[in-house]
Chains A and B, each alone.
Chain A
Amino acid sequence: MNIRAISQHSSFGEYPAELLAELSEPVHKRLIQAYQGDDPLQSMESELRKILMETLKHED
């Protein structure tokens, strides 16, 4: 591993795409995609809340 390359990636910006490729569960992908903005934790929490409500309201 080239340490120089690591330093170039050190902004988080490029990581989610790499991680998303490793995830297969759609819910997990949605949560990771929600990781953005000034308060990414809150953004993920809102997304989880949304997912749970969608599951509750979803009619088969």
Chain B
Amino acid sequence: MKIKNITIQGFRGFNNVQNIDFHDRLTLIYAPNSYGKTSISEAFEWLLYGVTSKVENADSKEEYKGSYRNCHLPESLNPFVKVTLVDDNKNEIEFRGNLVENEIIQKFVSGNDHEVESWPLAQDISKVPRPFILQHALKYLLLVRPTDRFQGFARLLRLEKLDLFQQNIVSLCTKPDVCIPAEVTQLLKNIAALEARLASQPSLATIEKVFKKGKPGLVEVYDAVASECRQLVSPETEEEFILPQLSKIREDAIAKIFKGRIILPDYSEKEKYDNADDDKFFLDFFVDPFVKKYTGLLTLSTVQHILERAEFFDLGIKLLDKTPIKCPFCNQSINSALVKHIHDEHVNLATEKKQSEELQMQRTEIMKLLSELKSRLATYQTRHNDKASQFLTLKTNLEKLKTILVPKYQTHFNAVETAISELTIAKNNLETSHSRVLKALDKVETSVTESKEDATLVKDLGETFAKYISDTHYYVQIVIGKVSAMSDAEQILKHELAILAGTENISVLIDFLEQRHNIEKKFEIDGILNGLKDLRKSVDQYVANKVLEAISGELTSEVMEWYGQIKTTGDPDVHFDGFDIERTKKGDLKARRVQINATSYGKYLVSAVSSLSESKLNALGLCVSIATNLKNDSPFDFLIIDDPIQSWDAEHEIQFIEVIRKLIDERGKQVILMSHNRNWIDMVRSGCRIINGRFYEITGYTEAGPQIKEISWAKWAERLDEVDAIIKDQTAGIVRLQQAEEEIRIVITELTSELYLKIKKDRKKPHNLNSTKVRKMLVECGTDSVLVDQIAQTFETTDPAHHASENYAANRQKIRCYYNWAHKLANFLKDSHEA
């Protein structure tokens, strides 16, 4: 697909709506710096990708926030970019992007009102290089650290996801600590402490040596442990009694110094689950069904006395039935209306009586619920209460503990002292709250059994329960917070006691025997964590190979081919020699390091980046972009090249014109070339004269946006001189003669346009003119009718789009006539006067 035109309003440097038509092969745009030419390429980029590479690559996205909308655009207007694309079959499609709030693009296709999610293109454009060659992007590709260069190439070759994958693997493998669960950390810490204690025992050096072998040395470790243990117990001791005997030796020795341990166990997974389950049960209990049922009881209890009244009335009714018109109690006469009233009242009471039966049922259920609550509460309280019970017995031994730990382990002793103090308070609070809950529960139970339900009792129970749960949570928090520090203190205490009792070697051996399972786990976990280095290495090699495949081979050849085009004959022989991935001394690929190779007179250069001049690196960057663009299945047949020749000498600038011609002629690309260098743009125009492309000059910049003026590709006199030369050249074939004819027609449309502007003060774009329009305009300008007919004849061999018919045959004599008539028109323009 090629670009036919672009319309921009309120985007970047553009304010007022402006349209630019493009030649299907070459369009040149010249503008001094800051005149808005880059806004044109950015508008294309934003429309196609929803973001410009400048914003995408910015270190701080915040800095570019709001930069798409032109600040001078009236608030009532929305910025938009509209592009007409043309496919190989000349079908046109229009893409329009509206910039709306939050920098979002709304996409519309060919005037359709329905917004589309993505552009209807045959290929996924996010997977192929963007058809833009931008200087600022090239700088970040080459003149950067090898790791950044790696990232730049990954982006250019659309391997970003692979790049991100590697970065994530590096993050996982270098910082696995964040993934280690607390239980695993504790286990590793305990075994590390044991290992340190082992190292402090010279008598156990054999075990230490084999322990360092890790998992493969485990059998040897336990052979050595067994051998050491045997030396400490009586020779006839059977295997299964070795550990108990060692423990006894140690405990006896230690008991002479200190009794007690710093044991504060953590809540197990099951206990944590039970805690959560109980908490939920307690919460649900007070919401439903207990409160509902108890409140129901309050209502129903008022029915209790109705029941009694009903029984009384029942007796009255029976008696009344025997004496229908006399009161059964006082024998006073009563009328039939009163009798009816008494009967009705009785019916009502009978109904209420039925309800009262529910009361008893509710009471039974409530007692059951309260019993369940009590049972659950007892288990809950025991679970928490027991947790610190053993630990708090240390309180009586604190002074003794202090003499053992202080001053060497003052911090640990302080931690134990604080833990005892805080846990004592928390446990006391917990017990107080618990007994209050029990009392409140008893009161509620009594109220039910004695049928004296009272809403305030339930309120009290709820409040005491809430306080109890809160105290429990605080207590749990303290326990969990102290577990690790107390475990450390216990290790130290054990160590110190063993030293004081002279049993540290026995302690170490006991721990080895007791913790065999944990030691095996530690080795397995170490294996997994250390193995992450191997995973990283595998991924590094895999990714490096992928990128190497992408940057070497065909890409390198292609880049070198284009680089060869730019290289000048007078250049010193210091040149680019391909891309590679840096390697280690062993020959492995280094991770994320793209290297540029260069040679100087056949000799390999160690540092290519420092040896290649900026202009050569610039040329190389251009070649990389061109090569990647040409080698990918892009739906776009255009390349937008923005300011490519920075820091080049004149010879290189001319060489690059050849590259442009090749891109157009040999690779079929539509090139849109922008530059701030007017001389070079003129050279491109001369070098590509035959292409007859479009040339725009941005002549100024105001609040309204850039002032864009289309300039004639070549002067009409030069064109006619060339036509004359072709006619005179007897070797010129049909293609050259056809070119001569086309040059004459371009001259005629340009002269007609100038004449019309001069006479009618109206500018018509020459490239939009055809035979009919030219004839009409010439007539309007008062051109002699003979000349008008002659000029019209110059279009006879082409269709309205200036394309020659299939049976076209060149005729030198006819072309000479066209040439003369073009001159006549030029003279008419010269002699004509403004209207």
Q: How far is the CB of B57 from chain A (nearest CB, A)?
A: 18
CA distance in complex: A12, B154 (Å): 12
Q: Which residue of A lies closest to B554 (CB)?
A: A3
**Count of chain A residues with Cβ under 8 Å from any Cβ of B?**
32
Say yes or no: B172 contacts A45, CB within 8 Å.
Answer: yes
Option from B157, B159, B168 in Cβ contact (under 8 Å) with A35: B168
Residues of B within 8 A of A3 (CB): 157, 550, 553-555, 558, 628, 631-632
Tell me the dominant secondary structure on chain B's binding face: helix
Tell whether B539 is near chain A: CB-to-CB under 8 Å: yes
Given the contacts A35-B168, A40-B168, A52-B528, A7 and B179 also touching, CB distance less than 8 Å: no
Say yes or no: A56 contacts B183, CB within 8 Å.
Answer: yes
In B542-557, the 8 Å CB interface with A consists of 542, 546, 549-550, 552-555
Residues of A within 8 A of B555 (CB): 3
Q: How far is the CB of B168 from chain A (nearest CB, A)?
A: 4
Say yes or no: A52 contacts B157, CB within 8 Å.
Answer: no
Given the contacts A1-B554, A31-B172, A31-B535, A12 and B162 also touching, CB distance less than 8 Å: yes
CA distance in complex: A41, B167 (Å): 9
Say yes or no: A19 contacts B535, CB within 8 Å.
Answer: no
Option from A35, A46, A52 in Cβ contact (under 8 Å) with B165: A35
Residues of A within 8 A of B534 (CB): 25, 28
Say yes or no: B181 contacts A49, CB within 8 Å.
Answer: yes
Q: How far is the CB of A10 from chain B (nearest CB, A)?
A: 4
In A22-60, the 8 Å CB interface with B consists of 22-23, 25, 27-28, 31, 35, 40-41, 44-46, 48-49, 51-53, 55-56, 60
Give 12 A-B pairs besides A10-B157, A40-B165 with Cβ atoms closer than 8 angstroms: A3-B558, A6-B550, A12-B165, A15-B162, A19-B538, A19-B539, A22-B542, A40-B168, A48-B176, A52-B525, A53-B183, A56-B521
Q: How far is the CB of B527 from chain A (nearest CB, A)?
A: 9
Residues of A within 8 A of B549 (CB): 1, 6
Say yes or no: A52 contacts B179, CB within 8 Å.
Answer: yes
A-B contact pairs, 22 of them (CB 8 A): A1-B552, A1-B554, A3-B550, A3-B558, A3-B628, A3-B631, A4-B632, A6-B550, A7-B631, A7-B633, A10-B161, A28-B538, A41-B172, A44-B168, A48-B172, A48-B528, A49-B179, A52-B184, A53-B183, A53-B184, A56-B183, A56-B521
CA distance in complex: A40, B127 (Å): 20
Residues of B within 8 A of A2 (CB): 554
Q: Which 6 residue pairs of A and B lie closest in terms of their CB atoms, listed nearest first?
A: A12-B161, A10-B158, A3-B631, A1-B549, A41-B168, A48-B179
Residues of B within 8 A of A11 (CB): 127, 161
CA distance in complex: A59, B384 (Å): 28
Residues of B within 8 A of A1 (CB): 549-550, 552-554
**Count of chain B residues with Cβ under 8 Å from any Cβ of A?**
44
Residues of B within 8 A of A25 (CB): 531, 534-535
Q: Which residues from chain B sit less than 8 Å from chain A, CB to CB? A: 127-128, 157-159, 161-162, 164-165, 168-169, 171-172, 176, 178-181, 183-184, 187, 520-521, 524-525, 528, 531, 534-535, 538-539, 542, 546, 549-550, 552-555, 558, 628, 631-633
Option from B520, B538, B631 in Cβ contact (under 8 Å) with A22: B538
Say yes or no: A52 contacts B632, CB within 8 Å.
Answer: no
CA distance in complex: A51, B535 (Å): 15
CA distance in complex: A19, B165 (Å): 12
Q: Which residues from chain A sit less than 8 Å from chain B, CB to CB? A: 1-4, 6-8, 10-12, 15, 19, 22-23, 25, 27-28, 31, 35, 40-41, 44-46, 48-49, 51-53, 55-56, 60
CA distance in complex: A11, B159 (Å): 7
CA distance in complex: A25, B179 (Å): 19
Q: How far is the CB of B127 from chain A (nearest CB, A)?
A: 5
Q: Which residue of A lies closest to B517 (CB)?
A: A60
CA distance in complex: A19, B537 (Å): 12
Q: How far is the CB of B296 from chain A (nearest CB, A)?
A: 47
Residues of B within 8 A of A28 (CB): 531, 534-535, 538
Option from B162, B165, B538, B632 in Cβ contact (under 8 Å) with A7: B632
Residues of B within 8 A of A49 (CB): 179-181
CA distance in complex: A40, B502 (Å): 54
Q: Which residue of B lies closest to A13 (CB)?
A: B161
CA distance in complex: A40, B161 (Å): 11
CA distance in complex: A19, B543 (Å): 9
Residues of B within 8 A of A23 (CB): 535, 538
Q: How far is the CB of B763 from chain A (nearest CB, A)?
A: 45
CA distance in complex: A44, B127 (Å): 25
